[in-house]
Each structure stands twice: as structure tokens, then as C-alpha cells.
Amino acid sequence: MCGIVGYTGKTPAINLIIDGLKRLEYRGYDSAGIAIPIQKSEKLFVEKRAGKLQILSNSLTNVPKSNAGIGHTRWATHGGPTDLNAHPHLDESGKLAVIHNGIIENYLEIRRQLESAGHKYLSETDTESVAHLLADAYKRNGSDLSAAMREVCQQLRGSFTLLAIHSDHPDLIVGARRNSPLVVGVGNGENFLASDVSAFISHTKKALELGQDQVVSITPEKISVTDLKGLAVKPKDFEISWDAKAAERGGFTHFMLKEIYEQPKAIADTLLISKSISESMNKAKQNSGLNLNIDLSEIKKIVFIACGTAYHAGLVGKYVIEAWTKISVDVELASEYRYREPAISKSTLIVPISQSGETMDTLMAMRYAQKNGAKILSICNTNGSTIPRESDAVIYTAAGPEIAVASTKAFVTQLIAIYLLGIHFAKLHNSLTQKEIDQILSELDALPAKVEQVLETVEPLREMTRKFKDAASMLFIGRGVGFPTVLEGALKLKELAYMHAEGFAGGELKHGPIALIENGTPVVALLPSEESVINEKMLSNIQEVKARGANVIIISDHEVKNFDLQIRIPTCSELLQPILAVIPLQVIAYEMAVARGNDVDQPRNLAKSVTVE
């Protein structure tokens, strides 16, 4: 997620803005920039650089004095991390600047309209469309920046936090938000706007919460909030009780918990981004700088290559894509792949899956496959990282930066990208009817709300997990796509609770692992819905372990009689269930780590991105 800071008041703005952006660095970013008004109605002072804040700070040598301005750290979505794509974005006059967090879904159609009206674009971003739209609306609204913002917001689809300044009004900052955070810091003779309170918490603890589709205008002495029609709104004021560190975690105890709760938005944002990709893949056109000019019509085999959690996403992908397209799918551990001389041909599509885009095992496996003639389409969460940079095409997930070492929102967004890739191949091969595709797409759109529902019901897991705090190990069983899902649950528990954990296909128990079951062994069982052909089989597996004394925790979308430890998840199509079923597994691992007093965000021996083989 991008970092956003605005200041207007009685002291030089530049240091306050840079300090505020520093406090937002934890959000992850790959470029940064600032804009400040110098002379009334003259060009703004703007500096923006790819890379870390220090690179921007080093370039701020002769900054003119100004007591207002805006600053931004960008986590690239549309267009790579470059100086040109960094925010702020300007109109052609250079007197109006905009910064943005979120995704403007209809930016391409806006861009086409504005370019045909003569606007000249400099970047590949969705945000630049807002700058040009705002400049036109500013003229139409008699140089009223707040009215212009209200008009523009009504034309935008998607999620946004926007800040804008114009040199005609050197002490004014106008902001707007929809499905993306924006808070007001209320000072004495100075006011702040930011994507979260950590940007200004050291200056004021008085804040105002803005609602959906509201526009806020601040000057050093005045704060006014309206709806998009211009009607005044009284924002909710609150006193910030967090300290700066807690503020960085949005008030959550750990980044991992914050990221578990960010999953509904991460899924929704990835659907926004990936859908435009799957549309552009159909039209085989360039799309916002993502290199998607790849012809997949000759592909006869798909091979997912990944590590850890990303590997488990690939395993789910095998079940999904083979069911929807009958194309053969393999899933390979990246660290094994290139040492076994695998069969590769021009009709093989290699799909590296990687949150960081820097995992050396995955990168080396990809290079090996590329050298042997395979096409590469990567799924990645980090714009401009090595794996997508060296791929023939890429589908970016929009989970935002994942700070906790244990991957949560990256996993669910990797699944979303895989589902959309499966739909793309189903269209290419006519293996699903349009009705079936539309049904899947509408189910995908319903997932963020269903994940929210699961998150509202995980509270009992805390107490349930504490019961097994001292267990020697925990076993997980599942069938179908439930099998890779429980593998992911076992990995989460291992890496967070430092507890032995193992996932099994339910049908495998009788071939050996059932010998592990003794009185009190905790077993998490993931059940598909009642109409699934494997539901009965899973129920027998549960009875098998229960009969041998296991403590069974059931995750299902329906009640199972005579089991007191049950976690309910909403109903969905079987192949989409991993998205909902993995949430309780993440929470079990999180709660176990907390109960055991472990470092949740930085578990021992682990790194967020393993850049060595």
C-alpha cells in the first residue's frame, strides 16, 4: 500500500512530509516523491525518485521554503517503479499535483478520452489520469479545487485515497477517499492528511476519520468535509491511543494479524488488476506496462514452479486448471526442478509463483526453463522485481507489501491470479461455457465478503488453539484442493509455532500416517461441502482418527454431528474453498505462536525473501 502525507501549517513542510513518509516506510514502497507550492500561481516544486526515501532526500538540496505540501511513497501496481511513474503526478500546467493510493479501475478508458482530447501523458500510471481530469474540472469549477475533486471522484471506479494541491491556493490541500484509508491530523494552526495516523502521531493525537466518498479540504486554520454532492459532513473525531510502533501496524498487535485482516481488500484489488489483465490477454494488447504480449494458444502443458506457500498455491492451481481446461498441469518445487533434467518444450508454459519476485530457487529454475525454450508467465506481488522482469509476461497480485515473514494475503491473491489464469485458458480452449465462466467470476467477486465473514468468526479459535499449546505436534488432513490447503496450514504452524505439523491427503492416512495418532493428538480436518463426492470419504477419515483418540478440529461449511470443535466457513464452489478454509488455518498458527511467546512477524531462522539457493 502506498504512503500518503499532506501538511499545511506554520512550519516548513518539507521536513514534516519526509518524516511522515519515513513513518510509513513499513508499508513497503519502491519510489517516493513530494510536491510543494512556492509562488502563488506558479509551477509547483516537485521531486520524485524511484527507490528508497533516502534517494529522494539526497535530491532535496535546494528546497524553497513552503509551509504546505504533499508526499507519497508508491507500491507499484500500474507501471514499474521509475522516476516517471513515481507520484506526485502533475497536470500540463505544472501547477496542480495529485498523489494516490489504490487502483482506478477505469483509468484506461479515462486515458483514452483525455488523450483524444489532447492531454499529454508522461507515465504509465492510473493516477496520472486523475491529475488531468482534475485540471479540467478545476477550470470548469472556477478554480475551486474542492469542487473539482468532488466532480472527478464521481467519474472514478475502483479504490482511492487522493490528495491534490494547486499553486493558486498555496495553503490548501484537498483529499478524497473510497475503499482506501485517509485520516485527518488536527493540529494547532496546522493540519495533516495521511494514509494512517503513524505519519503525524508525533505532532498530534487528535484525528478525524473520513467516510466513504468524502472530500476533505484543509488549511492551517480550517478543516471542512463534504460528500460528493458538496453537502457538509461532520467527521467522527477520535484521540489516537496507539504509540508510533502500534500505529505502523494499524493498531494490530502484529503485522501478520494486520495482513490476515487485509485479505478481503487484497483479494478485491487483485481481482481488479488481474481482470484487466485477463481482458488484455484476450485482446493481446499491452496493458499498463505489464508485458502480456504472450500467445498462449499453443500451450499444451503448464508447470507451476515455486517454494513454500507459493508452491501450495501451485498445487491448488493443478486441481483447478486441469478441472477447468483439461490442460496437463505439473507443480514443481523450484529447488528440485532444474537438477532433475525435466522435460521442457516450446508448448510448455512455466508459471513461477513468487510474492517477493526474488526467491533464488524460483529464479534459477525459471532461467533454466527459459534457456530450454519454455515461455514464462510469472505470478508476483512485487512490481519490477527480478522474476517478473525476466518473464515473458506477468500477472501481478495486488496484496500490497507483505511485511510478516509468514505469507498470508500473498497466498490468497496468488490463488486469485491462478483462478483467473484458469478462466483465461478455459476461454482459449472453450472448455467452459460462458455461463460457467460468468458463474465462477461472480463467485470470485463474492469472496472478499465471505472472507470478512470468516474473520468475524475466528475469535473462538484463540481459546481452541490454547488447548493444544503444549502438544508435540498437530496433524492436518484434507482431500482434493483441501489437501494443498492443509499442507499450507501445516507449514504456517511449523514456521510460526515451531511445532511439528504435517498435512496429509485424507486417503493416505491408512497407508502409514495413521500410526501417528494417539490419545489427544490434535488433528485439523478440512471438509468439503456435503454434496462433494469426497465428503463421505473425509468423514470416514475423521472417524478413523477420532476412533484412535484424536482431538479433531473440523473446518467445514456445514455442521458435523458429535464434534465439539468446529469452525464454520461460508459455502462456495469446492475449487474456491481454499481461499476461505486457509483463513482459520492462518489464525490457528498465529494464535499458537502468540501462546508460545514466539516472534510472530520474524520467526526464528526465517527470512521474508530467500535470495540464496
- Give the shortest CB-610-to-ligand AGP separation in angstroms: 5
Residue 264 has φ and ψ, to the nearest 5°, of -55, -45
What stretch of H or E contains 545?
Answer: helix 535-547
Q: Closer to ligand AGP at the Cβ: 125 or 586? A: 586
Q: Residues 595, 600, 602, CA angle at the centre, nearest 5°?
A: 150
Write down the catalytic residue from 2, 153, 307, 380: 2
Pairing of strands 214-218, 223-227: antiparallel
Q: Residues 107, 108, 111, CA angle at the centre, nearest 5°?
A: 85
Q: Closer to ligand AGP at the Cβ: 308 or 384? A: 308
Task: For residue 433, give the C-alpha cell.
Answer: 461455457
Q: Closer to ligand AGP at the Cβ: 515 or 612? A: 612
For every residue of 188-256, DSSP letters joined together read: SS-EEEESSGGGTTTT--EEEE--TTEEEEE-SS-EEEEETTS-B--PEEEE--S-HHHHHTTT-SSHH
DSSP label of 296: -
Q: What is the 3-state secondary structure (H, E, C) of 14-37?
A: HHHHHHHHHCCHHHCCCEEEEEEC
Write down the catalytic residue from 206, 301, 546, 608: 608
Contact 64, 38 (CB under 8 A): yes
For every residue of 341-368, DSSP letters joined together read: -----TTEEEEEEESSS--HHHHHHHHH
Contact 592, 496 (CB under 8 A): yes
- Residues of the shown chain interacting with ligand AGP in the complex, contacts defined by CB under 6 A: 307-310, 354-356, 359, 362, 405-407, 495, 609-610
Q: Closer to ligand AGP at the Cβ: 103 or 493? A: 493
Q: Closer to ligand AGP at the Cβ: 77 or 354? A: 354
DSSP label of 200: T
Q: Closer to ligand AGP at the Cβ: 57 or 407? A: 407
- Give the shortest CB-330-to-ligand AGP separation in angstroms: 18
- Give the shortest CB-404-to-ligand AGP separation in angstroms: 8
- Give the shortest CB-362-to-ligand AGP separation in angstroms: 5
**Distances in Å between the alpha carbon of 116 and those of 81, 98, 109, 111?**
27, 21, 11, 8
What are 74's strand-pairing partners? 31
Q: Closer to ligand AGP at the Cβ: 8 or 359? A: 359
- Give the shortest CB-424-to-ligand AGP separation in angstroms: 22
Q: Closer to ligand AGP at the Cβ: 105 or 259? A: 259
Which residue of this chain has its Cβ atom nearest to ligand AGP in the complex? 308
Q: What is the C-alpha separation between 415 and 420, in angstroms, rounded?
A: 9
- Give the shortest CB-414-to-ligand AGP separation in angstroms: 8
- Give the shortest CB-406-to-ligand AGP separation in angstroms: 4
Active site residue 307: no
- Give the shortest CB-372-to-ligand AGP separation in angstroms: 21
**Amino acid type, 571:** T
- Give the shortest CB-402-to-ligand AGP separation in angstroms: 8
Q: Closer to ligand AGP at the Cβ: 195 or 354? A: 354
Strand order across the 31-36 sheet: 45-50, 31-36, 68-74, 3-8, 191-194, 183-186, 206-209, 236-239
Q: Closer to ligand AGP at the Cβ: 103 or 310? A: 310
- Give the shortest CB-260-to-ligand AGP separation in angstroms: 12
Q: Please choose, from the candidates 255, 484, 482, 464, the residue with its C-alpha nearest in 3D space to the C-alpha of residue 474.
A: 464
Q: Residues 261, 267, 268, CA angle at the centre, nearest 5°?
A: 110
CA 569 to chain centre: 22
Q: What is the C-alpha separation between 198 and 195, in angstroms, rounded?
A: 9
Cell 472530500 belongs to 215
Active site residue 380: no
Handedness of CA 397, 399, 402, 408 (dihedral sign): negative
Q: What is the C-alpha separation between 470 and 385, in angstroms, rounded?
A: 40
Task: For residue 128, give the C-alpha cell.
Answer: 496520472
Q: Closer to ligand AGP at the Cβ: 336 or 518? A: 336
Q: What is the dihedral of CA 588, 455, 489, 609, to 10 degrees?
A: -100
**Distances in Å between the alpha carbon of 303 and those of 344, 351, 355, 520?**
10, 6, 17, 40
Let me know if 478 is exposed, middle or buried by CB neighbors in 10 A (0-12, 13-18, 19+). buried
Task: For residue 578, give the C-alpha cell.
Answer: 481454499
Strand order across the 301-306 sheet: 328-333, 301-306, 348-354, 375-380, 393-396
- Give the shortest CB-267-to-ligand AGP separation in angstroms: 17
Active site residues: 2, 608
